[in-house]
Amino acid sequence: MTFIKLESLESIPEERRLSYQDLAISIFTVNQPKESKNLTRSECTYCETMIADWSTICPSCNVKFPICVASGKPIMDANQQWTCSRCKHNCLRVELVSFNNCPLCHHPISS
């Protein structure tokens, strides 16, 4: 009786651990393009084509993206776009975390 109990207790966590592993991998894969700061490709917000993150123009729909003056990367997500009220240049909000002033003209950042 005790032996059977132990055996069933051992087999269940093993199965669960495997399915949790699969789940973790699929969540990671789905979220990676948006969560990762080191992404190398981004999705065009207009036509959903995957384009290199240094590319400022979508090769598919020819949309031109504003350039982040802090990182040099194109800003493909309008929600990530911050525009300096003085010099009118653009920055990615994630890049502004380490700045208190506009990286270009040093105008104080107001959010």
Site for Zn ion, rule CB under 5 A: 44, 46-47, 49, 58, 60-61, 84, 86-87, 102, 104-105, 107
Q: Which is nearer to Zn ion, 19 or 110 (CB)?
A: 110
> Least separation, in Å, of the C-beta of 22 and Zn ion?
32
- The total of other beta-carbon atoms located within 10 Å of residue 78's CB is 9
Residue 69 burial (CB count, 10 A): 17
Give least dist CB 72 to Zn ion, A: 15
Rounded least distance, CB 31 to Zn ion, Å: 22
Q: Which is nearer to Zn ion, 94 or 104 (CB)?
A: 104
Picking from 79, 39, 59, the residue whose alpha carbon sits closest to that of residue 90 is 79
Distance from C-alpha of 12 to C-alpha of 94, rounded to nearest angstrom = 42
